[in-house]
Amino acid sequence: MPGRLQVRPLDEGDAEACGALLAARHRADRARLPHLEPALEDPGAAAEAVRHLLGRPGAGGAAAVRDGRIAGFCIGLRLAFSAADFASQFLPLRSAVVPVAGHAVASGEDATEVYRLLYASLAAAWVRDGVLVHRVHTVTGDREVEEAWVSLGFGRATTAGTRETVRPVDGAAATDIRVDQATPEDFAAVRRLSRELAAHHQGPPMFWPPVIEAGAALDGFLQASLAGPVPTFLAWQGDAAVGMQLFLVPGFTPEHVRQDQRLYLFEGVVSAAARGGGVGTAMLRASMAWAAANGYELCTLHWASGNYLGAPFWLGHGFVPVEHTMERRIDERALWGRAEPGHTG
């Protein structure tokens, strides 16, 4: 008869055991998704990834133990930045995230049972400190793990997808445009298209917040990207820039994707009036040809799961989902009463 699951804080001494669980999970993930990093299948490398996470600022971890062995673990990071920070455009201000290498469950264990206890332990400290937005990164296609987080109130926020750059880009491409690499002089056009992309995400059903305070940081980021070594492509219809694809290396490529192939498509947008006419397809054809010719075998990007234009476009053009960001927002009334006299919780 197996003993009961017990949860305790995770420490450096658990790194080897957690690494073994993570490596085993990653092996199974990689059997479904060949674009993932091979090195993480090695328990030593996975243990190093666990150690690295535990050493990051704001990190806290929990281990679920059954009969003296680790049945699962979870490491969360508290994110701290100001509204004026570039990151606030894309991430909730006061939030905690469990990265993709920050959780795994032993085979034979019930993922829902294990994650429920681990999350309860981590979330207790987060909510106590007013951190009410919680995120977890899961690898696509693992229904058991996804079910565990859904049962805890998490829903899908964004998806990362990866494609092989040499794959043909199917679909009808616009023929009345030219696609050029942007220069720093094109900043105004790039900024306008980037703002149009943000406006699209602020609409239904995504409803991303318009973070006015982050505007200057975003402009600085775009300027630095234009001056950097990785290109931004613009689609021109006569004198008008009608589309943009801005690339970064490594950008925000998830850490479980092949480490030697981290070309990242940060922003891809076509002006509202030009959408549906093959501009996006023409741009992707040009940018993927550039990528393949420059030694980039893979390209990765994120899209908002609810993006009714982006999701079908990328999925229809060869991007294979590799990671979901799942999010839960705790009702702020959970904090009510904490300062009341006599409250002992």
| Interacting residue ranges for ligand COA, rule: CB under 6 A | 171-172, 197, 200, 268-270, 275-281, 303, 307, 309-310, 313, 316
Q: For residue 198, which phi and psi values (nearest 5 degrees)? A: -60, -40
Which helix (H) or strand (E) segment is 117 a member of? helix 111-128
Residue 16 Cβ vs ligand COA, minimum distance, rounded to whole Å: 39
Residue 249 Cβ vs ligand COA, minimum distance, rounded to whole Å: 18
C-beta neighbour count of 176 within 10 angstroms? 11
Q: Which CB sits closer to ligand COA, 157 or 279?
A: 279
d(C-alpha 203, C-alpha 100), whole Å:
29
Residue 168 Cβ vs ligand COA, minimum distance, rounded to whole Å: 13
> Strand runs (DSSP E) across 39-177, as ranges?
59-66, 69-79, 95-98, 103-105, 133-139, 155-164
Residue 91 Cβ vs ligand COA, minimum distance, rounded to whole Å: 16
d(C-alpha 310, C-alpha 325), whole Å:
16
Say if residue 250 is preceded by a cis peptide, omega within 30 of 0: yes
Look at the alpha carbons of 108, 111, 116, 118 in this order and tell me if their dihedral is positive or negative: positive
Residue 222 Cβ vs ligand COA, minimum distance, rounded to whole Å: 16
Residue 160 Cβ vs ligand COA, minimum distance, rounded to whole Å: 11
C-beta neighbour count of 343 within 10 angstroms? 9
Residues contacting 29, CB < 8 A, separation 6+:
36, 139, 141, 142, 256
Q: Which CB sits closer to ligand COA, 122 or 198?
A: 198
Q: Which CB sits closer to ligand COA, 86 or 208?
A: 208
AA letter at 279:
V
Residue 49 is classified by DSSP as H
Residue 215 Cβ vs ligand COA, minimum distance, rounded to whole Å: 19
Q: Which CB sits closer to ligand COA, 121 or 300?
A: 300
Residue with CB nearest ligand COA? 280
- 188's tokens: 């105004």
Q: Which CB sits closer to ligand COA, 54 or 270?
A: 270
Q: Which CB sits closer to ligand COA, 159 or 165?
A: 159
Q: Which CB sits closer to ligand COA, 60 or 306?
A: 306
Residue 302 Cβ vs ligand COA, minimum distance, rounded to whole Å: 7
Q: Of 274, 279, 272, 299, which is closest to residue 198 (Cα–Cα)?
A: 272
CA 144 to centroid of chain Cα atoms? 20
Q: Which CB sits closer to ligand COA, 315 or 330?
A: 315
Residue 118 Cβ vs ligand COA, minimum distance, rounded to whole Å: 31
Residue 298 is classified by DSSP as E
Q: Which CB sits closer to ligand COA, 121 or 305?
A: 305
Place of tokens 């919680």: 134
- 343's tokens: 């409250």
